[in-house]
Amino acid sequence: MKNITSTLKKLFYLWRRTQVPIKQTNKISKIDNLIIFLICILISIISSFKLLLITPLNFSEIFSWLLTFTEVLISSGILILVSKKENPTISSRQIILIITLLLAVQASKLALSSTISPLSIIIPPALIISQGMGSITALAWVSIASLNWPDPAIAINNNLFFILLVCASIVSLLGGRIRSRAQLLQLSIFVPIGALLSQWIFIGKNKISLINEQEFDFPKGDIFSDSLLLAIVMLFTILFIPIFESIFGLLTKARLLELADKEKPLIRRLSIEAPGTFEHTLLICGLAEEATRMIGGDIDLIKTGALYHDVGKLHAPNWFIENQDGSKNPHDEIDDPFRSAKVLQAHVDEGLKFAKKNRLPKPIANFIPEHQGTLKMGYFLHKAKEKNIKINDNDFRYNGPIPQSKETAILMLADGCEAALRAMNINASDVEALETISKIIYSRLKDGQLKDSNLSKGEIFLIKRAFLNVWKRIRHRRIQYPTSKNNTFS
Ligand SMILES: [Fe+2]
Ligand SMILES: [Fe+2]
């Protein structure tokens, strides 16, 4: 009996550890909500008004119009909910982009669907959405865009509908994962080829003879020219994705990887003008990447965010200990804890200015203030207390905000552990290293720095293990191997 109780207790403890706090989604202003609602109404009108043009108009026609109108309005609402669920920090601009693309597609169906294949209308927007907002949002968008056809007179061929769904789903799934522009180009070539072959097999095989070009057509147009058009529209979409990125604040994987390039001018400046900070940054990238991989977070986002988190130190590199190579410490010279605290806060404020100047996307810029949160500047607070000056503890805290995502919270923890782990004795045991990590993480937790981050207790446990693993790697690297005079090449 005792065994059962303790097992149940253990299970309950494990279950509690895995529970993630409820995350509040971004608030959207009333005006934006109204704009979004009006666009949804417009989509519903465009998708259903043709049903009212049937003469003579009787009750059943009005009823089917009302049904279609409501169906499209509800599906637009579901689409918005899905996008919010997949991207809790989605902005109103991005929601407007998703539904405006739906509006454009419904309008294009009215104007063009009798002349061009629906593949060219639906697949390119799906690529933009999957790149910027993720695969699930793109799949939801594709299903709504494929199911609602505003013109009842145009009956879409069943096989073509199936090919459309398969191609659009492939683009949605791969688009969310693709990590370079080259892979995007490959997608824009292989999907149209796939569409061409499948249309040829399922729709036009009786009509196509590869020898006689004249017969290379089918009732809804030419399979080959439709696929060519799809390839061209997809290539243009890829060309315009950077413009969508800057207008709607989209953060695609390709953009993240471009920003993570260490040859970027701001990162080059950091490595030359603040080499200590650059080294600290690289170590943090390693810690944060491992921890994010453990909890299944966005690795590309944290790698890039970590790279830029301390760029603000460029405003005065020698005021930070890691860049002082034995020279005088300016903080000792001024001997004023208040001014020193202002210099520390400035690395956040100046960092945000650098981010704005270099047009860093918001999710990356968020790492700059959130990695410091509202942490205490312990050393200078202690100094001020020593001088017996009347102080308010809040004067020695960073302005915040505290981390709002799992990734920025991991960066805060990595930032706190990095110096301690680096300073640890090479002979320290794993238990000692884990104790050091746990102490630092616990202090952040107790200070309320992680309460908005949505990290569960189980995830915090995994983060500790990840930091320990990285520390073990660092220690291994630091062990000096004995070199023999005769064997210098091994
Ligand atoms: Fe910092
Ligand atoms: Fe840092």
Residue 94 Cα to ligand 2 middle (Å): 30
Q: Residue 210: its pLDDT value, please?
A: 38
Same domain, 106 and 241: yes
Residue 371 Cα to ligand 1 middle (Å): 7
Closest ligand relative to 322 C-alpha:
2
Residue 87 Cα to ligand 1 middle (Å): 26
Closest ligand relative to 281 C-alpha:
2
Same domain, 305 and 446: yes
Q: Residue 370: its pLDDT value, please?
A: 95
Same domain, 380 and 453: yes
Same domain, 203 and 61: yes
Q: Residue 328: its pLDDT value, please?
A: 80
Residue 136 Cα to ligand 2 middle (Å): 34
Same domain, 248 and 264: no
Residue 348 Cα to ligand 1 middle (Å): 7
Same domain, 170 and 191: yes
Residue 490 domain-assigned (yes or no): no
Closest ligand relative to 288 C-alpha:
2
Q: Residue 222: its pLDDT value, please?
A: 72
Q: What is the pTM of this model?
A: 0.81
Residue 432 Cα to ligand 2 middle (Å): 23
Residue 350 Cα to ligand 2 middle (Å): 14
Closest ligand relative to 411 C-alpha:
2
Closest ligand relative to 313 C-alpha:
1
Q: Residue 81: its pLDDT value, please?
A: 94
Closest ligand relative to 307 C-alpha:
2
Closest ligand relative to 277 C-alpha:
2
Please state, in angstroms and rounded to a whole number, the distance separating the CA atoms of residues 402 and 430.
30
Same domain, 46 and 136: yes
Please say which residue of 253, 276, 296 terminates a domain: 253
Please identify which residue in the block is written with the tokens 């699930």: 136
Same domain, 214 and 356: no
Q: Residue 250: its pLDDT value, please?
A: 86
Residue 444 Cα to ligand 2 middle (Å): 15
Closest ligand relative to 370 C-alpha:
1
Please state, in angstroms and rounded to a whole number, the distance separating the CA atoms of residues 163 and 174.
16
Please say which residue of 222, 253, 284 terminates a domain: 253
Same domain, 303 and 225: no
Nearest to 242 by CA among 251, 233, 232, 234: 251
Please state, in angstroms and rounded to a whole number, the distance separating the CA atoms of residues 377 and 374.
9
Residue 442 domain-assigned (yes or no): yes
Give the Cβ contact number of residue 264 at 10 Å.
Answer: 16
Residue 310 Cα to ligand 1 middle (Å): 5
Residue 260 Cα to ligand 1 middle (Å): 18
**Range of 175's domain?**
26-253
Q: In CATH, what number is assigned to the domain containing residue 295? A: 1.10.3210
Same domain, 277 and 234: no
Give the 3-state DSSP-derived string for the chain, with helices as H, strands as E and coil as C.
CHHHHHHHHHHHHHHHHHCCCCCCCCCCCHHHHHHHHHHHHHHHHHHHHHHHHCCCCCHHHHHHHHHHHHHHHHHHHHHHHHHHHHCCCCCHHHHHHHHHHHHHHHHHHHHHCCCCCHHHHHHHHHHHHHHHHCHHHHHHHHHHHHHCCCCCCCCCCHHHHHHHHHHHHHHHHHHCCCCCHHHHHHHHHHHHHHHHHHHHHHCCCCCCCCCCHHHCCECCECHHHHHHHHHHHHHHHHHHHHHHHHHHCCCCHHHHHHHCCCCCHHHHHHHHHCHHHHHHHHHHHHHHHHHHHHHCCCHHHHHHHHHHCCHHHHHCHHHCHHHCCCCCCHHHHHCCHHHHHHHHHHHHHHHHHHHHHCCCCHHHHCHHHHCCCCCECHHHHHHHHHCCCCCCHHHHECCCCCCCCHHHHHHHHHHHHHHHHHHCCCCCCHHHHHHHHHHHHHHHHHCCCCCCCCCCHHHHHHHHHHHHHHHHHHHHHHCCCCCECCECCC
**How many domains would you assign to the chain?**
2
Residue 487 domain-assigned (yes or no): no
Same domain, 47 and 191: yes
Please say which residue of 188, 222, 253 terminates a domain: 253
Residue 433 domain-assigned (yes or no): yes
Q: Residue 212: its pLDDT value, please?
A: 40
Residue 119 Cα to ligand 1 middle (Å): 48
Residue 106 domain-assigned (yes or no): yes
Residue 145 domain-assigned (yes or no): yes
- pLDDT tens track, the chain, 490 positions: 678 888 888 888 888 777 777 666 678 889 999 999 999 999 999 988 887 777 777 888 888 889 999 999 999 999 999 999 888 888 899 999 999 999 999 999 888 766 777 888 999 999 999 998 999 999 999 999 988 887 766 666 778 888 889 999 999 999 888 888 888 899 999 999 998 888 888 776 544 433 344 433 444 457 777 888 899 999 999 999 888 888 888 888 888 988 999 999 999 999 999 999 999 999 999 999 999 999 988 999 999 999 999 999 999 998 998 888 777 888 888 888 889 999 999 999 999 999 999 989 889 999 999 999 999 998 888 888 887 777 888 888 999 899 999 999 999 999 999 988 888 887 888 899 999 999 999 999 999 999 988 899 999 999 999 999 999 888 776 555 555 444 444 4
HSE (side-chain half, CA atoms, 13 Å) at 87: 25
Residue 14 domain-assigned (yes or no): no
Residue 409 Cα to ligand 2 middle (Å): 13
Residue 352 Cα to ligand 1 middle (Å): 12
Same domain, 393 and 315: yes
Residue 13 domain-assigned (yes or no): no
